[in-house]
Amino acid sequence: MTDVSGIIVAMVTPLADDQKISYSRTDKLLDKLLTYNINGIFILGTNGEAYSLTEDEKFSFAKHVIEYVNHRTQIFVGTGLNSTSETIAFSQRIATLNPDALSVVTPYFVPPTQEELINHFEKLANSVNVPIILYNMPGKTGVNIDPETVAELSKNPNIVGVKDSSGNIENMRGYLKLRANKEFGVLSGSDSKILALLEAGGDGAIAATANLLTQNDVDIYKYYQDDNLKMAEKCQSRIEPLRKILHTRTTPSALKATVTASGINVGPAKDPVMMPNSDELEDIDRMISYYRTNNII
């Protein structure tokens, strides 16, 4: 049974210098992440550049990651596309790899109504035999999955949770209040809200900052579970220098640059996204030095 809780890493997709997926770099990043007490790895999301990869590239990458990890942690795979039919077809294809769950972003560009979202996700959930995690990212898609919509979708036994990247804690509280049962997981996709969501009764986070700050992010969850709120707050605050860097560039170029600066080369971002310039790289190096000096990485 899929465990929708704890800290799940929203992993970047390592590329070679020619912009093709690098499986050797992927393995090195996975080796690092698997040394920590994470509760899963989410591939092919926003920071995984799913929007810029072909379906064949995504399938091959998912196959490699699932086989390499070999049940050492859970693997969630992003399969959301822009129409219901293509999302179902691609999700069914990924389902043959037996991931632990599919994370499915809402259709975008022409924002669906809430009724259309329910229709979209119900048809998908009833067409695949892998659990579905809803992915709410209104800043990119133009549509919010409202709490009342999650209340309805959470009744479907194959829809097991939601990742909320809205940054709106009231929206997340709405999910918690209206979800059909406590087994339906509510995860923060906004790393600044990990502790706030836990305090509201949430279940964890799918965190991009965990590519670099893996132990720190795990510790937010651990300390909260241990009722050590002071340390949980300290770990939450430690994310801010990295978040400040991440907001200086188009996603995920700054994140990839920080991971590479820490010693795990994950390559460039996909064009047209450009990597940080020399001044920005100096800021990244200073941040990495700060984290190392303070034993955070």
pLDDT tens-digit series, residues 35-60: 999 999 999 999 999 999 999 999 99
Distance CA 246, CA 207 (A): 13
CA 11 to mean position of chain CA atoms:
7
> In 40-156, which ranges are E strands?
40-43, 75-78, 101-105, 132-136
pLDDT at position 200 over 90: yes
Amino acid at 196: A
Going by DSSP bridges, is the β-strand pair 132-136/159-164 parallel, antiparallel, or unpaired?
parallel
Distance CA 229, CA 95 (A): 39
* The predicted structure's pLDDT at residue 55: 98
Residue 206 annotated in ligand binding = yes
Q: Has 20 been annotated as catalytic?
A: no
Percent of the chain with pLDDT over 70: 100
Residues 74-101 have a mean pLDDT of 98
Distance CA 23, CA 170 (A): 40
Q: Has 163 been annotated as catalytic?
A: yes
Going by DSSP bridges, is the β-strand pair 40-43/75-78 parallel, antiparallel, or unpaired?
parallel
Distance CA 117, CA 136 (A): 11
Residues 162-173 have a mean pLDDT of 98
Distance CA 140, CA 135 (A): 11
* The predicted structure's pLDDT at residue 41: 98
Global pTM reads: 0.96
* The predicted structure's pLDDT at residue 8: 98
Distances in whole angstroms, Cα of residue 76 to Cα of each of 1, 13, 100, 166, 181: 13, 14, 6, 20, 21
Average pLDDT, the chain: 97
pLDDT at position 107 over 90: yes
**32: confidence class by pLDDT, cuts 50, 70, 90:** very high
Delineate the domains of the chain, giving CATH numbers in brackets. Answer: 6-232 (3.20.20.70)
Which residues share a beta bridge with 205? 7, 188
Please, which residues have CB within 8 angstroms of residue 268's CB and are 6 or more apart in sequence? Answer: 15, 17, 19, 253, 256, 275
**Structure token pair of residue 206:** 């799918």
pLDDT in tens, 209-241: 999 999 999 999 999 999 999 999 999 999 999
* The predicted structure's pLDDT at residue 249: 96
Residues 144-169 have a mean pLDDT of 98
Distance CA 233, CA 288 (A): 21
Residues 165-183 have a mean pLDDT of 97
Q: How many CB atoms sit inside 10 A of residue 172's CB? A: 26
CB 230 within 8 A of CB 205: no
* The predicted structure's pLDDT at residue 1: 86
* The predicted structure's pLDDT at residue 58: 98
Catalytic member of 163, 221, 224, 256: 163
pLDDT at position 289 over 90: yes
DSSP assignment letter at 164 = E
